Amino acid sequence: MKLKEIYSSNSPVISFEIFPPKADAQNYNDKINALFGELKILSKYNPAFISVTYGAGGSTRDKTLELVIKIKNELKLQPTPHFTCVGASKTEILEYIKEVENAGIENILALRGDPPKGQDYFVKPKDGFGYANELVEFIKANTNLGIAVAGYPEVHPEAESAKDDLINLKRKVDAGADIVITQVFFDNSYYFEFVEKAQKAGINVPIVPGILPITNIAQIERMVAMSGTKIPENLTNSLKKFENYPDAVKKLGIEFAIIQSKELLKNDVPGIHFYPLNKSFATDSVLKELNINSVLEN
């Protein structure tokens, strides 16, 4: 089912994001089996789709496609592979997106991508694309895939201003994106303001909030450093208070994600895209409390 159809319902849609284990890991197969065990737990919520990332510079691109096909065939869930402009020519991009489509995959998440490791700035590949809107336009012109793109409630770290960031988002939507999935945020006011400004700018596709239940302080600190995501002061103080008590941190993170998700759902969001970081426990705990399933049946 294409993204446009998935989000045509008035009921909230649940989806998840996972990442492939490192391709060169000696115990790669064991990690895949463990990941599928986690996905089986989350599959009871009938997710509309599972988005699958790949490493910087497309370092796990082939493994991502293998994983995507395995999810589709073995779990009977709808996978949505990520694809970026990084390190790929138009010829290579066309080959990959056709391979995705020929595998029976219906949707893709198109991104510019982060600079490869060791580079401070994104460099447009030779005969490739420098911006996500160009990638979206190319996918739209060459396939029938549904297309998701990323949005940044707290502004993309490379954008000159919030206004410029919205202009860039509108370019992606105008190029053919069907939905926007947001970067993780911990203060819902950023999301609500972002949606309001996006709609005023003429962006009229569903904007799906991205939620990450906190389970590890060091992990969150890395994310904040990389993306500039802000954590509310009361949450920061509580996390510091329990930083030497991992179970208390998980409990606090889950409780915060429940409160955050309930407020979003009360305000009629099109769905919630959870970032479980390849572990089911926290997201499963949140969804149990929310007591909702995706509107789609697999």
Catalytic residues: 17
64 CB-near residues (< 8 Å, 6+ apart): 20, 52, 53, 54, 81, 82
Burial (CB count within 10 angstroms: exposed 0-12, middle 13-18, buried 19+), residue 146:
buried
- What are the tokens at 263? 């407020």
The angle, 0 to 180 degrees and rounded to 10, between the axes of the packed helices 246-266 and 188-200 is 30
For residues 178 and 4, the answer to whether their CB atoms sit within 8 Å is yes
Residue type, 93: I
Q: Helices 233-241 and 246-266 meet at what angle, rounded to 10?
A: 160
Site of tokens 């294409």 = 2
Helix ranges (H only) for the chain are 3-6, 28-42, 61-70, 90-102, 132-142, 162-175, 188-200, 217-227, 233-241, 246-266, 281-290
